[in-house]
Structure 1
C-alpha cells in the first residue's frame, strides 16, 4: 500500500482555517461538474415507485443533499435531505405513481457555497395492484414490557399511498382507535398513554388508489406498568448544523428530565452508525478523538431510564474543520488542495558504478519521508530529509508534506507516490556496423549490455536519439556517443574512414592480359596499423559483392562468374586492431 498521511490518527492534527477571499452565491453549475443519475437514469420511464435513487460519486465532494419534486428544482416530495457521503437514497414512503419526478442533487461543501446541480428526471410507473401488508418496527410484534407512552411505527409497504390503523385491547378490537386513515406516514403517536399491563392489538392496512391490502394480520404487544419516559434532548456543542467543528471536540447535550443515561450513535450518513453505535453515557458530555476532517456527521442521542427510551428523538448533524482539501473555489470554479504537488518520477536508476546512489526529492515541501516496500507491502522508513541513499532495486515510497499553521497549531498535508528503483550502468560499445551506400555511410551501434541508452554522432552534447542507427552520413571520420538516459555515464568510439590509405589500389583492369587482373590489398609495411584481417567489396549502391582475404589473389571483378561492368566500387577493410577502413576504387576494362 502507498504510504499516506492518515488525517484521522496523528495527534498533531488540529484546526486549520481556510478563508475564502470572496464568497459568491452560486445557484447553478455546468453539468460536467455534477453527478449523473445512475439508477434510475435521467429520462427513464416506468420506474418502480419504491425505487432506490443512486448517482455518481464526485471526487473531492464531502457530501450530498437530495431534493425530490414534481417540478424542476422542486422539493414537494423531499426537501433537501443531507445524506452525507452516501450516493444513494430510498424515499421512506415511496414515490407517487405515474409521475414525472425531478431529482436535484446539491454538492455540499464546508464554509463555501454549495453547488446546486441541474435537476434530472424520471417517470414512475402506474400501480398495477393493491399494496402488500406491513409489519411493526416499534414495538415489534409480541414484544413485552413496552412503555405506555410508546409510539407505533411500521415498515413501508411498497406501492402504498396511505395506511388505516386500528388499536384495541382485544383481538381485532378498536377500543382505542377505530379504522383511522393517517395518510402516507409510517408512525402514529397515540394522543394519550396506552393502558398499563395490557395486551395491545394493532391492525395496519396499507392502501392505494386500486384498493386496500388483503389479509393483513393483527399484531400484538404487551405494555408495562405505568412509568414516565424521559423526554428527548438536543445538542449544546456543537449545535445542530454547526460547521468548522474541531477534529477532537467535546460533545455536550442538554440534560433530559427523568433520564438516567443516554444512548449515543454517530455515523457519516443518516443511515449508518459507523463511528459510534449505541454507546451508553451516564453524563451529558463526552470527548471524541480525531474525527475525520471535511465530513458531516449524523448524531442521535436517546435518553433512557428504567421505564424505557425517549420516543421520537430526531437526528442532528455537525461538520468538522476543513483539512487539506480539496476545496471548491467559487472564483475559479476549481477544486483546490493544500497538499504539495508530486513531480517525482515513476522510476529512478541506481548507477552500478557508483558506490553510493543518492536520490533527491524533486518537489518543494516542508518535509519528506522515504520508505522501502517489501514483498508484502510493509514499509520501512529510510530517511526524513530531502535525500535518501538507495543501494538495491525494488519498490519505494516518496512522501512530501507541508506544515499548515494557524493560531500556534500545526497540521500536515502530505502527498506520496510509489516508485521503482532499477539498476543501470554506463554503456559499452561492442561494435559499430558500417554499411555503404552510393555516396554515404550508414551506422548501427551495438552495445555490450542492454540498457536505457540514447545515441548521438559527432557531438557529445547531442542532439541524442533513441535509435541506434545513423543513416546518410558523410564519407569522413565520425565519433559515436552512447549515453545512459538515467545519468550513469557516456561512452564514445571513433569510426575512421581513410580513403587515401596506401596499400589499396585505386583501380585494376581484369581483362585477362595477366597484368593488374586482380584487386588486392598490398600492405606498405608490417606495422600493426596495416595488418588487415578481411575485406568486403560493394557496388556503388552499397550492395555486397564479395569478401576476400589479404593473403589470396584478390577480386577478379566478377559476380557468380559474370564479369561486372566498368564502374567505381567500394571496399571496407577490417584491421586487426579493429580499425575500419573504407574507400573506393575503379574497375576498368
Structure 2
C-alpha cells in the first residue's frame, strides 16, 4: 500500500498539495538476502519534479548516501555498493518546483552475506591508453561488485609500483597522488578490489601517457543558464565563463549525475553552444572541464538546471491541483469496419488543437494517413491516434500529445441461424445461434439494454423478437419467436444433439389436470413409415432409426390410450 501524506498541509508557510509517497519496487520493503550490488527502484509519483535519495543504517540516515539528487529517474545504483548483512534504510524525498521538499517515511531491506571474491574494476580517469594526460591528474575507477576496498599500485613500468605499491585506499573510487606524475612518461596502474573473502584475481593493469610539464587551466562555471535555474527552455543556449590558458572545453550533459546520456565528452573551442532534445520537467546535470596541452582542469564541479514544466502533470500553486496540459482523449483500443462500407470514416469527438492518425506497418514503422479529426480506413491492422495541444512556454513552442494505439477489425451484421428454445417446468430458456465477422450483443428490445451473452433464461410464455447488434455499428439483425407449452403435453419439437437438453421426444404430463392414460406412442415419417414406439415411463424417442440419426425434418405421432382414444399430431426434429 502507498502511504498517503495529508491531502493539504502547511510546511514553512507554504500550502502543499498532497502527494503519494512511492513504494520500493526492487528490493521490496522488508526483503532479505538482497545482493550488495543491487540497484534500488521505486514507483513513479505523478507531478513530482525529481527525487532525492538517502541510504543509511537507521531510519532517515544518510551515512551510506546522503541526499543524492537523481532527477526524475526512479532507479539508483549506490556508487560504492552496500554493506553486507545489514539492514539498509531508504528515504525518498519528493522535489517540487518552488515548493518545500516532501520527505517520505523510510523503508528498509536487509543485504545478504558476501561469500565470493569481488570483480575487477576499470580505470575511468584517465582512460586506458589516453595520451597527453595532465601530470597532476588523479585516478578514478568503476565500482567492483562486492568490493569493500581497493589496493592501488602505480609505477613507471609494468608491475613496478615505484610510485605507489599496493596502497589500501579503502572503499573509495578515486585516488589523488601526493605528487605530480613525471612528464612525458607512461604510467601503469593496477587496481585490485578486495573484501573479507580476499582480493580480486587476474585484474588488468592500465596505462596512460602524461603530457609535457606545464600548467593546466582552472575550472569554469555556467553563465546561462545559471546553476540551479528552473523553467529553462527545451533548446537552451549554454554559455560558460572563459578560462585563461584553456585551449578547449570538454562538456558532459546527462539526465542524472552518473550518466552523460545527452552529451558525452563534447569538445568545444568556444564558450557557448545550443543544445537540442531536452525533455520538459526534468533536471539536467552539466560538467565543463577546461583543458590545454598540460592537461585537464582538476576537481571541476557538476552543475544542474531544470527545464520548463512542459505538459505536466505539475502542481498549480493557484488552484492546489495537479494540471495536465495534454488533451483528454476517449478513444477505444479496438475499432470495427463494416463489410461493404469500405473505406470506413472514423471521426474523433475529442477536443484538441490538432490531430494525427498513423498506420503501423508490420515492421513497426508508421505512415501518417490523416492530420484531421476524421480519417478514412480501408484495411484491418494496427493504427495510432494522436491528439495534441500546442503551448507557448517561456517563448518556446511545445506539443502536448495524448495517444491511443488501436486495432481495426473486420465486422458485419449478424446472421441468425437458429433460436434454440428449451422448455422448463414453468418457463423457457432461449439461446440465439449466429454467424458473422463481428462482435455481437443481444437484446429482446430493439432499444436495449443489450448484453454480451446470447442466452435469455426463465422467460414466460409469449411472443418475442430477439435483436442481435454488431458493436461496431454494422447493423441489427432480428427474428421473432413464440414460447408456448404444447397442448395435451405433446412437444412441438426436440433437438437430439447430445447436449443433455431436450434430447428426447416424449409425452409431457400437463401442469394442471389429469395426464392422458397412454399405452403407446408410435412415430412415423412424412411417408407413413413407422420409425419407433415409446411408452409411458420410458426416456422417449432419440431420433434414431436402426441406430442411425434421422435428419432435421417434420415427423408424426399416433398416441393410443387405455380407454381406446387416439391422438395424432406433428412435431419437428431439430439438429
So what's the TM-score if we normalise by structure 1? 0.68
Separation (CA, whole Å) in 2 of partners of 1:380 and 1:345: 20
Separation (CA, whole Å) in 2 of partners of 1:245 and 1:237: 10
Q: Is the CA contact 1:57–1:87 (under 8 Å) kept in the aligned structure 2?
A: no
* 1:539 alignment partner in structure 2: 508
* 1:401 alignment partner in structure 2: 388
Q: Is the CA contact 2:33–2:110 (under 8 Å) kept in the aligned structure 1?
A: yes
Alpha-carbon deviation of 1:369? 1.9
The yes-or-no answer on 1:485 pairing with 2:454 is: no
Between the two structures, name the one with larger relative contact order (CA 8 Å, sep ≥ 6): 1
The alpha-carbon distance between structure 1 residues 236 and 549, as it changes in their structure 2 partners (threshold 3 A), is same
Which residue, out of 347, 363, 387, partners 2:374? 387
The yes-or-no answer on 1:267 pairing with 2:254 is: yes
Separation (CA, whole Å) in 2 of partners of 1:218 and 1:43: 38
Question: Unpaired segments of 5 or more residues in structure 1?
Answer: 1-21, 501-505, 508-535, 575-589
* 1:518 alignment partner in structure 2: none
Q: Is the CA contact 1:438–1:541 (under 8 Å) kept in the aligned structure 2?
A: no
For the residue of structure 2 that corresponds to 1:312, the secondary structure is: coil
Mean CA deviation greater in 191-200 or 411-420 = 191-200
The alpha-carbon distance between structure 1 residues 264 and 349, as it changes in their structure 2 partners (threshold 3 A), is same
* 1:65 alignment partner in structure 2: 52
Separation (CA, whole Å) in 2 of partners of 1:448 and 1:214: 71
Separation (CA, whole Å) in 2 of partners of 1:201 and 1:356: 72
* 1:318 alignment partner in structure 2: 305
* 1:347 alignment partner in structure 2: 334
Separation (CA, whole Å) in 2 of partners of 1:216 and 1:441: 83
Q: Is the CA contact 1:438–1:540 (under 8 Å) kept in the aligned structure 2?
A: no
The alpha-carbon distance between structure 1 residues 384 and 132, as it changes in their structure 2 partners (threshold 3 A), is closer
* 1:119 alignment partner in structure 2: 106
Matches within 5 A, 1:197-216: none
RMSD over aligned Cα, in angstroms? 5.3
Separation (CA, whole Å) in 1 of partners of 2:138 and 2:112: 33
The alpha-carbon distance between structure 1 residues 424 and 238, as it changes in their structure 2 partners (threshold 3 A), is same
Q: Is the CA contact 1:430–1:447 (under 8 Å) kept in the aligned structure 2?
A: yes
* 1:365 alignment partner in structure 2: 352
Cα deviation, 1:176-233, whole Å, max 9, x if unaligned, reads: x999997765545567756656788999999999999999999997754431111111
Which residue, out of 365, 372, 377, partners 1:378? 365
Separation (CA, whole Å) in 2 of partners of 1:465 and 1:243: 54
Alpha-carbon deviation of 1:490? 2.6
Larger radius of gyration: 1
Matches within 5 A, 1:267-286: 267-286=254-273
Q: Is the CA contact 1:238–1:251 (under 8 Å) kept in the aligned structure 2?
A: yes
Alpha-carbon deviation of 1:261? 0.8
Which residue, out of 74, 77, 84, partners 1:89? 77
Mean CA deviation greater in 76-85 or 292-301 = 76-85
Q: Is the CA contact 1:43–1:120 (under 8 Å) kept in the aligned structure 2?
A: no
Question: Unpaired segments of 5 or more residues in structure 2?
Answer: 1-12, 489-504, 536-540, 542-557
* 1:258 alignment partner in structure 2: 245
Alpha-carbon deviation of 1:556? 13
So what's the TM-score if we normalise by structure 2? 0.69
Q: Is the CA contact 1:372–1:395 (under 8 Å) kept in the aligned structure 2?
A: yes
Alpha-carbon deviation of 1:145? 5.3
Q: Is the CA contact 1:200–1:223 (under 8 Å) kept in the aligned structure 2?
A: yes
Separation (CA, whole Å) in 1 of partners of 2:142 and 2:429: 84
Alpha-carbon deviation of 1:300? 1.6
Alpha-carbon deviation of 1:483? 3.1
Q: Is the CA contact 1:436–1:541 (under 8 Å) kept in the aligned structure 2?
A: no
For the residue of structure 2 that corresponds to 1:404, the secondary structure is: strand
Aligned residues: 511
Alpha-carbon deviation of 1:246? 0.6
The alpha-carbon distance between structure 1 residues 96 and 436, as it changes in their structure 2 partners (threshold 3 A), is closer
Which residue, out of 40, 47, 53, partners 1:54? 40
Separation (CA, whole Å) in 1 of partners of 2:121 and 2:532: 109
Alpha-carbon deviation of 1:323? 1.9
Alpha-carbon deviation of 1:274? 2.0
The yes-or-no answer on 1:105 pairing with 2:92 is: yes
Separation (CA, whole Å) in 1 of partners of 2:528 and 2:468: 38
